[in-house]
Amino acid sequence: MTTALSLKALFAQLGLKAINPGASDGVTWSGSGPLLAVRSPIDGQHLASIRQAGPEDYERVLAAATAAFAVWREVPAPKRGEIVRQLGDELRKHKQQLGQLVTIEMGKTIQEGCGEVQEMIDICDYACGQSRMLYGVQTHSERPAHRLFEQWHPLGVVGVVSAFNFPAAVWSWNLALALICGDVCVWKPASATPLIAIACQRLLEKVLARHGLPAGVSTLVIGPGAGIGARLIEDKRIPLISYTGSTLTGRQIAKTVAERMGRSILELGGNNAIIVTAQADLALAARNVFFGAVGTAGQRCTSTRRVIIDERVYAAFLRRLRAYYDQIIIGNPLEIENQMGPLVNPAAVKVMMEALATIAAQGGKILLGGKPLTGRKYPGRCYVTPAIAEVTPSLPMVQEETFAPILYVMKYRGGVHRAIALQNDVPQGLSSAIFTNDLIEAETFLSARGSDCGIANVNLGTSGAEIGLAFGGEKETGGGRESGSDAWKGYMRRQTNTLNWSRAATLAQGIKFEPRQAKPKKAAKRG
């Protein structure tokens, strides 16, 4: 763990204090709710406290956001892009510190903590470019002298409810696009990771203040999901809610937002599989499965949870995978040589242990790992060894996402279509991959009869998507899309426009509707 001094220095550089207000309208910080203690999963150390947002703080924030929208939507989109670019520059300058804070607060390795900040920088650059490309189509009207086109207008206040596992990047994927689209953001981070949210919010406020922009373009409320979160979800002033988290909560949010005719972008659970066929490069496959299952201690939505292996290469593949698991270095994630840090909190360890017990009770065989780690090297009750469970595809637990480093291995027999059927046979549909050097197998996997997921990869793993194309998944993953491609459209309202530049009134579809000629009025007699 960092020494007290370097934690102090980190806090000073990122604008954090021992007690931090949990609500910001973009300029003024306040907090009238109960105190929230923030602990590091690395060693259980108390890092800081948050005075959470109360109802009046929330109202103040929403009033600022609503007022800011009226100003921000008038700022030309490329100028909005320039603000986002400058946020990217601030992130660049503070990459190391922010990466370290991510690691201290949620436990991913420092490599991955810095990688998360890099992903934020990438989306800022991307969004800046996109701000000059908010294209609407134009087509030919069926009427003479008419112009038919569409425009994309800003939507309003966007509520971003983010998860602990990408505590800063989820915000940036939404914020960068929302801002260039002319929307303003209210951010409610996960209660496990409020410090990184405060640090990011402060950096953005610095940029906004430099340009004299109003408070409320970017705002923050920290508080429990059931309190401040529920307020946000139910608020009619917020036309779009972007939520990243569990399917259970997402289902509830989807209902509540739909009930008030709002929109939602949902990034929910994944149950991501890798298919290893007999034509696979087994060394490449094992390496990728290892990172996919163990990276971020199995706490990514895109983590690899299942491997579906051709029975002919099952034993050989497993030998290679075991070799990686056997040499894994677990420990303080701030130390660069450690490949896996702790889970986010002791409750997550409990969930993992219970899941393993259920898997065993259902007939699964725990091949290795799955034990809590204790002792001097592992303070804080959050360290575990990653587990591999050998299962048959019909094992009920295989249908569920357990947010922990548990990997299911299973065999298939027959052609690639058999493996694809198993891969698709779960309620979730986020990410998927196949390892094969056979073109027909690869293309079948990517075809309409292939993977049913939002992401499908060939010869690389399920996690670690780049920001350049849309990110999200199907089925119980929620259907939302963030990041690249045309995901920006989700943050705008579309308007179809028809403009008549003639003096004739022409109806579409050839309909004639001529008013009868009105008789000219007789001139009034004089005198």
Query: Least distance in Å: CB of 178 to ligand UN1?
Result: 17
Of 128, 185, 200, 301, which is the active-site residue? Answer: 301
Which residue spans within 54-208 are E strands per DSSP? 138-140, 146-154, 157-161, 184-188
CA atoms in the 13 A half-sphere facing the CB of 486: 5
> How many angstroms separate the CA atoms of 117 and 99, rounded?
6
* 165 in contact with ligand UN1 (CB under 6 A): yes
145: left (phi over 0), alpha (psi -120 to 50) or beta: left
* 301 in contact with ligand UN1 (CB under 6 A): yes
Query: In terms of Cα–Cα distance, which of 226, 208, 181 is closest to 490?
Result: 181
> How many angstroms separate the CA atoms of 482 and 471, rounded?
5
> How many angstroms separate the CA atoms of 355 and 241, rounded?
31
Count of beta carbons in the 10 Å neighbourhood of residue 225: 18
> How many angstroms separate the CA atoms of 358 and 291, rounded?
25
Residues 469 and 164 sit within 8 Å (Cβ to Cβ): no
* 465 in contact with ligand UN1 (CB under 6 A): yes
Q: What is the DSSP letter of 298?
A: G
Query: In terms of Cα–Cα distance, which of 175, 191, 193, 192 is closest to 183?
Result: 175
Which residue, 300 or 306, is less far from ligand UN1 as judged by CB?
A: 300
* 75 in contact with ligand UN1 (CB under 6 A): no
Residue with tokens 């056979």: 438
Which residue, 62 or 406, is less far from ligand UN1 as judged by CB?
A: 406
Handedness of CA 288, 429, 122, 171 (dihedral sign): negative
* 463 in contact with ligand UN1 (CB under 6 A): yes
* 172 in contact with ligand UN1 (CB under 6 A): no
Which residue, 243 or 325, is less far from ligand UN1 as judged by CB?
A: 243
* 24 in contact with ligand UN1 (CB under 6 A): no
SS3 (DSSP) at 392: coil
Query: Least distance in Å: CB of 270 to ligand UN1?
Result: 8
Pick out residues in 366-425 that bind ligand UN1 (CB under 6 A): none
Query: Least distance in Å: CB of 179 to ligand UN1?
Result: 20
Which residue, 301 or 442, is less far from ligand UN1 as judged by CB?
A: 301
Query: Least distance in Å: CB of 300 to ligand UN1?
Result: 4
Which residue, 24 or 109, is less far from ligand UN1 as judged by CB?
A: 109
Window of 252-260, 294-302, 416-424, 505-513 that interacts with ligand UN1 by CB under 6 A: 294-302
Query: Least distance in Å: CB of 342 to ligand UN1?
Result: 17
* 464 in contact with ligand UN1 (CB under 6 A): yes
The tokens describing 254, both together, are: 């989807």
**Strand order through the sheet with 431-435:** 365-368, 387-390, 406-412, 304-310, 272-276, 431-435, 455-458
348: left (phi over 0), alpha (psi -120 to 50) or beta: alpha
* 302 in contact with ligand UN1 (CB under 6 A): yes
- CA 121-402-117 angle, 5° bins: 10
Residues 66 and 157 sit within 8 Å (Cβ to Cβ): yes
Query: Least distance in Å: CB of 165 to ligand UN1?
Result: 5
> How many angstroms separate the CA atoms of 379 and 368, rounded?
22
Distances (CA, A) of 122 to 85, 279, 465: 10, 35, 12
* 191 in contact with ligand UN1 (CB under 6 A): no
* 166 in contact with ligand UN1 (CB under 6 A): yes
Q: What are 308's strand-pairing partners?
A: 275, 410
Which residue, 301 or 344, is less far from ligand UN1 as judged by CB?
A: 301
How many residues bind ligand UN1 (CB under 6 A)? The answer is 11
> How many angstroms separate the CA atoms of 457 and 453, rounded?
10
Phi, psi angle pair for 37, to nearest 5°: -90, 135
Active site (annotated) includes residue 301: yes
Window of 133-141, 228-236, 374-382, 459-467 that interacts with ligand UN1 by CB under 6 A: 459-467
Binding marks (x or -) toward ligand UN1, 108..127, rule CB under 6 A?
Answer: -----------x--------
Window of 220-228, 295-303, 336-344, 349-357 that interacts with ligand UN1 by CB under 6 A: 295-303
User: For the chain, what is the largest distance between any 2 Cα atoms, rounded to a whole number of angstroms?
Assistant: 114
Query: Least distance in Å: CB of 302 to ligand UN1?
Result: 4
Query: Least distance in Å: CB of 182 to ligand UN1?
Result: 25
Binding marks (x or -) toward ligand UN1, 132..151, rule CB under 6 A?
Answer: --------------------
Query: Least distance in Å: CB of 173 to ligand UN1?
Result: 8
Active site (annotated) includes residue 267: yes
Window of 79-87, 211-219, 397-405, 457-465 that interacts with ligand UN1 by CB under 6 A: 457-465
Distances (CA, A) of 173 to 14, 119, 358: 21, 9, 36
Which residue, 166 or 171, is less far from ligand UN1 as judged by CB?
A: 166
> How many angstroms separate the CA atoms of 272 and 306, rounded?
6
Window of 22-30, 60-68, 162-170, 274-282 that interacts with ligand UN1 by CB under 6 A: 162-170
* 290 in contact with ligand UN1 (CB under 6 A): no
* 244 in contact with ligand UN1 (CB under 6 A): yes
* 100 in contact with ligand UN1 (CB under 6 A): no
Of 105, 112, 267, 482, which is the active-site residue? Answer: 267
Query: Least distance in Å: CB of 476 to ligand UN1?
Result: 15
Q: Which residues are catalytic, by number?
A: 267, 301
- Interface residues with ligand UN1 (CB under 6 A)? 119, 163, 165-166, 244, 300-302, 463-465
